[in-house]
Structure 1
Amino acid sequence: MMENIVRQPAVRVRQYYPPESLAAIPCRPWLARGLILRRCITEIIGASSIGKSSLMAAIGLHLAAGRDFGRFAIPQRCKFAFLTVEEDEQELDRRIGAIASRLNFTREDFKGHFEVIEITRPATLVTVTRKGVVEPTNKLMDLEIQLANKRIDVVALDPLAELHEAEENNNGQLRAAVGYIRDMLYRVQAGGFLSHHSRKGITAPGDLDASRGGSSLGGLVRLAFTLTPATLEMAQFLGVDDDPGLWHNLVRLDQAKANALAKGAPTDWFRWQSIDLKNGPPGFSDHVGVLTPWQPPGAFDGVSVFRINRLLDRIAAGMPNGDFYTAWRRSPERWAGQLLMEDFGFSEEQAQRGLRVWMDAGLLFEADFVDQKGRNRKGLKVNDAKRP
């Protein structure tokens, strides 16, 4: 009997031909374009208390309502499930209630599309045996059943460190632990939204290696973003350094990995705003911070940090003949404003204003150099410490 059973191979090699028409290829299954893909993990990297949970909850509400979130287009309503182990039920009410109030969501926006995942402590989805073997727990299996039954489109897991027992600095264990979560998401056809703490110290915007623990995590996620606070240098660059009450409440979201997107995505800015819940006597009610999209008022609206740094590289390298650019139009052949006009599509006046902003912020400065004819001249240099 046994010898008559035909074993189905787990691996097969098949002939491939490219499609006859590119238009016939299905679009990528974006749930929030540029942010969340079905069957893939998006990682949000940031320091403790920077606002990862609040950002995920706000995005979850937009997914549930089918409402675009800033530049991230959401084509239709999605079923969103939120698993957070850092907040109890009442704190979750405060935080999500404040977000809904500030961003004008109604109870109808939640209905049938926003779920909260309850899990007993410890909330371990993946464990490690005494012999060091990484294994899924019954809780991960139960979660998979619940997500499948409810046909969840996006699940947020907050934070990663609380959901597994793997040694973070052990690449093999961490890869196996997150691999189990990724495989589960693939089986239920959901997009994963994962928050993860950054390493100690200053996190550079857009740095995938800022993620705490082994580097293997970066290979498992499809998209990754860093969430970092505004610095004084960035406030000067944006022209808001004279308003500490504003820029101390600004955070930026920068693309750190995006296999499914072109490079050079713009920086997304958010501002913390305090919401009074009015749930107590005057002066004693709770206040909750809510991240709201914020548009910089500066000269470089709509220009990504990637493109800005690429242009700064051109200025730093100097001209093909060895001379350096100048900020002054009286030397038109060396005027750096031409580069801004070429790369950013600026008018002459916009280019002049942009150079002035960079000079005032100390991002560009003049230094002596000797030109091709042996003359002492002044040219532009870039202060790398003040790059955006």
Structure 2
Amino acid sequence: MTAIPLHQRFEQIEQNEPFSAPNLPAPLKITATPYQWCDPSQIKLREWVYGRSIQRGHLRAVVAQGGAGKTILSVGEALCMATGRNLLGQTVPGGPKRVWLWNLEDDGDELARIVQAACLHWDIAPEHIRDRLFIDSALDGAPLKLASSTNAAGLVINRPLVEALTDEMKGREIDYLHVDPFVSSHSANESDNMEIDAIAKEWAMVAKKSEAGVGLAHHISKAGAGEATAMHARGAVALINACRSVLVLNRMSDEEAKRYGIEDERRRRFFRVYDDKNNRAPPSDKSDWYQMASVSLGNGINDDGDNMGVVVPWSPPDAFDGVTADHLYRVQCLVSEGTWRADVQASAWVGKPVAQIMGLSSEADVKADRARINMLLRTWIGTGALVKTEGKDSKSMSRTFVEVGEWAVQGVPPTSQGVVRKGVEGEGPAIPHHTSPL
């Protein structure tokens, strides 16, 4: 383009001559695409790889605190998909899948310990996963840097790696690739929404072009040290926005442990998972609970060897398992014959007649029984079978008492808190994978 001298431009303005610059590009034209009506019954069905959290051609994130169970859960899911077995309560649509775990912070030996411990627990043999499970580790010479960012060059996508990765996934017919952790798969500014959005969209294109699901394990920020949600994921929110599903892991809290009668030293073996952003699956109002079982590899000389954690499904105990209307009726009879307090510290605590009828201990040190008694009482008071009243004790002190409300109907069982799952194959958490916190 030829520059127009400054004095000539002023002359054009003074003479009211229109200003024009030679060789300008043609105006850009944008055309809106009309929607093409179609038969809804002919629209392509969504393709699920695992449960309702891994969808073919889309991203998902798995968000949790460090050490909460992300890696052993990902291995458990991988073995479910590779074997086609419902080990953790999630179906594997269409049978066994090909799964690729790419770990960027554990070495091959540690990953082998986790995999083999799970195989021991679930009786998985080599032929059950042959040619369907692939594992790589950055610590063993398989780095994965999809993008980098510098002040001079800005964000640069590693195009050769993206193309080679996509080709390998298509060639191996990989159904699901899990990258752990996401932060190690790039060297961009993790707090920059524009850069993280570009990287996440690149991963989404890998998923789409390879027709596979892609999972990105991610840590939560320090601000999310309590109850974690998708919004507690560290760095830019663009990653969460780009994912179709965001699983969130939370360890069992002190309050939950007390509710279920779990001793504090065992509390950290339990965690729950819910999908904080699954807009592709039916809603659910319960978390999926898991327990870390200990499995010995038998690789020691003078002892049993390494003990590894294996994820198994777990369900909170149902206080009403085996409880009938007759149990409630007999509790009401005892309550009606005495004066009972709502205060758990009182010598005449109303939990004592409940313990007597149910064959439980009301002692404070028997936490599981005490937790069950409290759950029964909360429900019966909530339904009106028992009622709280205010009154005076023998010393004219104001107290809260518990009396009989609406008497139990014979043959009609009390309302249950939920269905107990036994934690065996096929009887774990129900689809979808969410879900939401208890």
| TM-score under structure 2 length normalisation | 0.64
Aligned to 1:282: 302
The amino acid that maps onto 2:61 is E
Residue 136 (structure 1) aligned with residue 157 (structure 2): yes
CA distance in structure 2 between the aligned counterparts of 1:58 and 1:51, rounded to whole angstroms? 10
CA distance in structure 2 between the aligned counterparts of 1:225 and 1:300, rounded to whole angstroms? 30
CA distance in structure 2 between the aligned counterparts of 1:18 and 1:278, rounded to whole angstroms? 60
Cα 1:326–1:153 shift into 2, 3 Å: closer
Cα 1:106–1:284 shift into 2, 3 Å: closer
CA distance in structure 1 between the aligned counterparts of 2:30 and 2:112, rounded to whole angstroms? 46
Cα 1:17–1:205 shift into 2, 3 Å: farther
The Cα offsets for residues 327-351 of structure 1, whole Å up to 9 and x where unpaired, read as: 643679xxxxxxxxxxxxxx97533
Residue 114 (structure 1) aligned with residue 129 (structure 2): no
CA distance in structure 2 between the aligned counterparts of 1:263 and 1:170, rounded to whole angstroms? 31
* Preserved CA contact (<8 Å) 2:220 2:228: no
Cα 1:201–1:24 shift into 2, 3 Å: same
Q: 1:44 aligns with which of 35, 49, 62?
A: 62
The amino acid that maps onto 1:227 is L
Aligned to 1:157: 179
Aligned to 1:189: 211
**Aligned-partner SS, 1:274:** strand
Q: 2:229 aligns with which of 188, 192, 207?
A: 207
* Preserved CA contact (<8 Å) 1:206 1:255: no
Where has structure 1 moved over 6 Å in runs of 4 or more? 9-12
* Preserved CA contact (<8 Å) 1:255 1:265: no
Q: Which has the larger radius of gyration?
A: 2
* Match runs of 1:351-362 below 5 Å: 351=415
Residue 228 (structure 1) aligned with residue 284 (structure 2): no
How far 1:68 sits from its partner (Å)? 2.0
How far 1:147 sits from its partner (Å)? 1.1
How far 1:132 sits from its partner (Å)? 5.2
Aligned to 2:106: 87
Q: 2:238 aligns with which of 216, 225, 248?
A: 216
Aligned to 2:291: 271
Aligned to 1:99: 118
Residue 16 (structure 1) aligned with residue 36 (structure 2): yes
CA distance in structure 2 between the aligned counterparts of 1:214 and 1:56, rounded to whole angstroms? 23
Q: 1:32 aligns with which of 34, 46, 50?
A: 50
CA distance in structure 2 between the aligned counterparts of 1:115 and 1:18, rounded to whole angstroms? 40
Q: Quick check: 198-207 or 226-235, which moved more?
A: 198-207
CA distance in structure 1 between the aligned counterparts of 2:63 and 2:117, rounded to whole angstroms? 23
CA distance in structure 1 between the aligned counterparts of 2:171 and 2:296, rounded to whole angstroms? 37
How far 1:250 sits from its partner (Å)? 0.4
Aligned to 1:255: 275
**Aligned-partner SS, 1:183:** helix
CA distance in structure 2 between the aligned counterparts of 1:86 and 1:70, rounded to whole angstroms? 25
Tell me, which stretches of 5 or more residues in structure 2 are unaligned?
1-28, 322-380, 389-410, 418-436
* Preserved CA contact (<8 Å) 1:253 1:269: yes
How far 1:27 sits from its partner (Å)? 2.3
Instruction: Say how many residue pairs are matched.
Output: 308
* Preserved CA contact (<8 Å) 2:293 2:310: yes
How far 1:326 sits from its partner (Å)? 5.6
Residue 294 (structure 1) aligned with residue 314 (structure 2): yes
Cα 1:51–1:248 shift into 2, 3 Å: closer
How far 1:290 sits from its partner (Å)? 1.3
The amino acid that maps onto 1:140 is V
Aligned to 1:124: 145
CA distance in structure 1 between the aligned counterparts of 2:285 and 2:228, rounded to whole angstroms? 10
CA distance in structure 2 between the aligned counterparts of 1:186 and 1:97, rounded to whole angstroms? 31
How far 1:118 sits from its partner (Å)? 5.3
CA distance in structure 2 between the aligned counterparts of 1:164 and 1:112, rounded to whole angstroms? 28
Residue 329 (structure 1) aligned with residue 385 (structure 2): yes
The amino acid that maps onto 1:266 is K
The Cα offsets for residues 260-291 of structure 1, whole Å up to 9 and x where unpaired, read as: 01222421111111211111213372221111
Aligned to 2:84: 66
- Give me the identity figure in percent: 21
CA distance in structure 1 between the aligned counterparts of 2:91 and 2:80, rounded to whole angstroms? 10
CA distance in structure 2 between the aligned counterparts of 1:330 and 1:25, rounded to whole angstroms? 54
Tell me, which stretches of 5 or more residues in structure 1 are unaligned?
1-8, 302-324, 333-346, 355-386
The amino acid that maps onto 2:70 is K
* Preserved CA contact (<8 Å) 2:220 2:232: yes
* Preserved CA contact (<8 Å) 2:294 2:307: yes
Cα 1:282–1:142 shift into 2, 3 Å: same
* Preserved CA contact (<8 Å) 2:64 2:249: yes
How far 1:117 sits from its partner (Å)? 3.3
How far 1:299 sits from its partner (Å)? 4.0
* Preserved CA contact (<8 Å) 2:228 2:250: no
Cα 1:206–1:267 shift into 2, 3 Å: farther
Q: Quick check: 201-210 or 273-282, which moved more?
A: 201-210
Aligned to 1:240: 261
How far 1:122 sits from its partner (Å)? 4.7
Cα 1:116–1:255 shift into 2, 3 Å: same
CA distance in structure 2 between the aligned counterparts of 1:255 and 1:297, rounded to whole angstroms? 22
How far 1:203 sits from its partner (Å)? 4.8
CA distance in structure 1 between the aligned counterparts of 2:153 and 2:88, rounded to whole angstroms? 44
**Aligned-partner SS, 1:55:** helix
CA distance in structure 1 between the aligned counterparts of 2:300 and 2:235, rounded to whole angstroms? 42
CA distance in structure 2 between the aligned counterparts of 1:69 and 1:41, rounded to whole angstroms? 23
